[in-house]
Amino acid sequence: MKTHTFLLLLPLLAAAATAHAQVGIKAGVNGAILNGENIGMDTRYKTSYHVGVFARIPVLGPLSIQPEVLYSLQGSEFRSTLANYDTKLHYLNVPLLAHVKVGPVYVEGGPQFGLLLGAREDGTLLISAADGYGPVDRDAANNYKKTDFSLAAGAGLEVGSFILGARYTAGLNDVNDVADLNGANDPRLKNRVIQVSVGLKFGH
């Protein structure tokens, strides 16, 4: 895990060493859901958060490259007649974005690599027809794949050092790692996250 984390941090460390790079901090709200096929349950957005750091490396004119390192709490709400629970997925995400700024307005887009740090499920599950529902609060890290690859796109405003932005991230790979999910046969789950964030940048 330490090796993976260090490798994920490399783009930001390299950017920070660049003479004309700007660095900054950001935090905000997530609207996260797990969408896919053969789920056998309703999935709903859950509200969570993200926090992290970024660097911005000038390339040419309004174009720059922006690597980030973010802690992001994601997951989904699952609802059915058999279960009613929330899944919390803790990710260390590294977006590597092309960033174009014209005046106070910017747009951005690019790939994102995510490393799963942990997962947990809590809520209620149907135990049996006789016993009814019972509480569940369990570690679920083994139910999900350790890596996630996504595409991200966003836009926002910059006024001085202050940044206000919105971003949508769509997972490309199936993150489910179990063949059966509460009666569903081999469900395929993909991360979908809407983010609204505020940030501060430092440097030239």
Tokens for 24, please give them: 């900054």
**131 Cβ contact partners less than 8 Å away, ≥ 6 residues apart:** none
> What are the pLDDT digits (tens) for 31-53?
999 987 766 778 899 999 999 99
Number of neighbouring beta carbons within 10 Å of residue 189 = 27
Helix (H, G, I), strand (E, B) or coil at 9: helix
Average pLDDT over residues 147-176: 96
- Locate tokens 């003479």: which residue? 19
pLDDT at residue number 21 = 84
Nearest to 50 by CA among 193, 152, 200: 193
pLDDT at residue number 107 = 98
DSSP 88-134: EEEEEEEEEEEEEEETTEEEEEEEEEEEEEEEEEEEEEEEETTTEEE
pLDDT at residue number 50 = 98
Spans of all domains in the chain: 2-202
> Between residues 132 and 188, which one has the greater pLDDT?
188
Please state which CATH number belongs to domain 2-202: 2.40.160.20
**129 Cβ contact partners less than 8 Å away, ≥ 6 residues apart:** none
> What are the pLDDT digits (tens) for 57-73?
999 999 999 999 999 99
Cα gap 182→170, rounded to integer Å: 25
Average pLDDT over residues 69-98: 92
Cα gap 176→155, rounded to integer Å: 30
What is the chain's mean pLDDT, rounded?
86
Nearest to 73 by CA among 84, 87, 94, 83: 87
User: Is the CB of residue 120 less than 8 Å from the CB of residue 88?
Assistant: yes
> What are the pLDDT digits (tens) for 98-139?
999 999 999 999 999 999 999 998 887 766 555 666 777 889
Which phi and psi (to 5°) does residue 59 adopt? -115, -60
User: Is the CB of residue 32 less than 8 Å from the CB of residue 86?
Assistant: no
Cα gap 54→70, rounded to integer Å: 8
Q: Which of 83-87, 140-144, 159-163 comes out lowest in average pLDDT?
A: 83-87
Top-confidence range, 6-20, 88-102, 169-183: 88-102
Question: Which sign, positive or negative, has the C-alpha torsion 146, 147, 152, 157?
Answer: positive
pLDDT at residue number 188 = 84
Cα gap 136→72, rounded to integer Å: 23
